[in-house]
Amino acid sequence: MSVDGRLRATALLLPMALLGHTLQLLGEDTPWAPHAWARYWRTPGWHLYLPPWSIVAIAVALIVSALGLAIRRTRPWVAAVIVTYVAHYLTYPYRIRNHMTLMLASLVAVAIAWVIGARLREGGRRLIDLRGRGAAPRLVDRYAVRGVAAVLCVTYFYAGLHKTNEGFLAFDERSAAFRGTTDFWIWGDLGSVAPTWAIALATYGTLVVEYAFPIVALFVPRLTIPCVIGLMCFHFPHVAVMNVADYPMLASAFYPSLFTAARWRLLERELYAPSRWNVAGAAIGMGAQLWWMPWWGELTIFGIGVMAIWGWWIGSMLRLYATAAARPKGARMAAEVAVR
């Protein structure tokens, strides 16, 4: 699929992200319901210029592309997902969700790098072709990864900027942080009222995470793993009690772009090899979701899978740290130099 392991990991996670996307749209928009037809015609958009069957055909093509990518993680299947998703986004007849725009921008960043690489030549050869071959595939894919990382940083930063207002910073029902923390406290059997310190941590911690963590993860490689773990912990209440597992899963599909290529190669060894650390992490993640989830629904059940993936990922990252810490000091310094 790619010589860059970060893109390979994203291709592995994309089908799961698209499953969450599908579950949310079907659960909220219910296109089979009697009122859906009326909403279809009164919602402005490009779909009004197309026959309704074409909208369904685009959605089916996206599902087929996602299934193809899940079975065979090759570059043509990624390209098929990109093309069908762009068409799906532009013609979707109901409300466009935030996660849909994040997915669009991230996939388009990859597409731009690939198209430019296919147009440029070196020594009479294209830099890259649809099969990932060419004069400089590693260079092209590195720029694709950087584009995705830029989209993540901008998205999270402006999410924090959007929340910097009196309503969000209020310690009452006007604030999503207040409501989310209260729900988290109640459904986790931690008490009937969330303490003030927990609300303050959720409120101001949200701003710190969204403003800073992706940017720090990208530009300070030593802190990439702590920041990625922090992002997953930040999103856990959203998955567990706020019924929005789709956005966190989709965002995490692009987290590999925050790692340097060398550090991802080190982590890759842990991710693809079962160990006590990642198996235990997956079990803890699933158990936490089962403990906190308030009801059995499409996205809460989907959240069990999300937390299993994140638990495995966190366990692998912690094992990487533990392995490094167990080395003699001289070996640790040499390894640190090698991954810069």
Tokens of 66: 């996602």
The helix or strand, by DSSP H or E, that contains position 125, with its residue range, turns out to be: strand 125-126
The DSSP result for 215-240, as a single string, is HHHHH-GGGHHHHHHHHHHHHHHHHH
Spatial neighbors of 46 by CB under 8 A, at least 6 apart, are 90, 91
Residue-wise pLDDT tens digits, 49-82: 999 999 999 999 999 999 999 999 999 999 999 9
Residue 158 confidence (pLDDT) = 96
Which position has the higher pLDDT, 36 or 280?
Answer: 280
Residue 294 confidence (pLDDT) = 93
Residue whose pair of structure tokens reads 């069908």 in the numeric block: 84
Average pLDDT over residues 42-46: 92
Tokens of 4: 């860059």
- Position 54, amino acid: S
Residue-wise pLDDT tens digits, 113-147: 999 999 998 877 888 888 888 889 999 999 999 99
- The DSSP output letter for 272 is T
Per-residue pLDDT band at 340 (split at 50, 70, 90):
low
Average pLDDT of the chain to the nearest whole number: 93
| Cβ neighbours around 326 below 10 Å, total | 9
- pTM for the full predicted model: 0.93
Residue-wise pLDDT tens digits, 266-292: 999 999 999 999 999 999 999 999 999
Spatial neighbors of 203 by CB under 8 A, at least 6 apart, are 168, 169, 171, 175, 177, 178
